[in-house]
């Protein structure tokens, strides 16, 4: 019989021969450059939450940079917010009792305003777990 090709071309990119997984297809669609075992990929949705974003925003400020694609960036709070009812919610400062949690949430609120990002805060019906609302919203 005839041997299968070692690689196939699709949309100008090379892939291993044979069936591709969903992961392989998504990776290939976002691959910009590959060399020396490293890959540069295009990320088309940026999800931001209150825990690790202060460092990222500080890096932007210290470098004099803005968020490049505000239209692709979505921020929400989910790690440091109470699960209690929000029927009496007025603002973060009065609602979150734990000081460190309150600081992280308020810092994100300030950063999304400063950088002009879409924000699903505690007063939004779209607020939720960052890794769930990204695909859903």
User: Is there a contact between 105 and 77 (Cβ–Cβ < 8 Å)?
Assistant: yes
- For 8-21, the pLDDT digits (tens) are 444 455 555 789 99
Percent of the chain with pLDDT over 70: 88
Residues 4 and 26: their CA atoms lie apart, in Å, by 23
- For 33-86, the pLDDT digits (tens) are 999 999 999 988 899 999 999 999 999 999 999 999 999 999 999 999 999 999
User: Is there a contact between 116 and 89 (Cβ–Cβ < 8 Å)?
Assistant: no
Give the 3-state secondary structure of the chain. CCCCCCEEEECCEEEECCCCCHHHHHHHHHEEEEECCEEEECCCCEEECCCCHHHHHHHHHHCCCCCCCHHHEEEECCCCCCCCCCCCCCCHHHHCCCHHHHHHHHHHHHHHHHHCCEEECCCCCCCCCHHHHHHHC
Average pLDDT value for residue range 124-128: 93
Q: Over 50: is that where the pLDDT of 119 sits?
A: yes
Q: Over 80: is that where the pLDDT of 5 sits?
A: no
User: Is there a contact between 40 and 92 (Cβ–Cβ < 8 Å)?
Assistant: no
pLDDT at residue number 20: 93
């Amino acid at each position: 019989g005839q041997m299968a090709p070692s690689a196939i071309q699709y949309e100008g990119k090379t892939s291993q021969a044979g069936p591709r997984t969903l992961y392989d297809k998504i990776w290939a669609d976002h691959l910009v450059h590959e060399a020396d075992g490293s890959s540069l990929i295009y990320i088309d949705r940026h999800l931001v939450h209150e825990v690790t974003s202060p460092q990222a925003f500080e890096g932007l400020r210290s470098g004099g940079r803005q968020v490049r694609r505000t239209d692709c960036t979505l921020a929400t709070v989910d790690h440091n917010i109470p699960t209690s009812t929000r029927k009496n919610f007025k603002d973060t400062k009065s609602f979150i009792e734990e000081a460190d949690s309150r600081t992280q949430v308020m810092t994100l609120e300030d950063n999304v305003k400063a950088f002009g990002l879409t924000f699903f805060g505690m007063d939004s019906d779209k607020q939720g777990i960052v890794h769930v609302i990204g695909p859903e919203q």
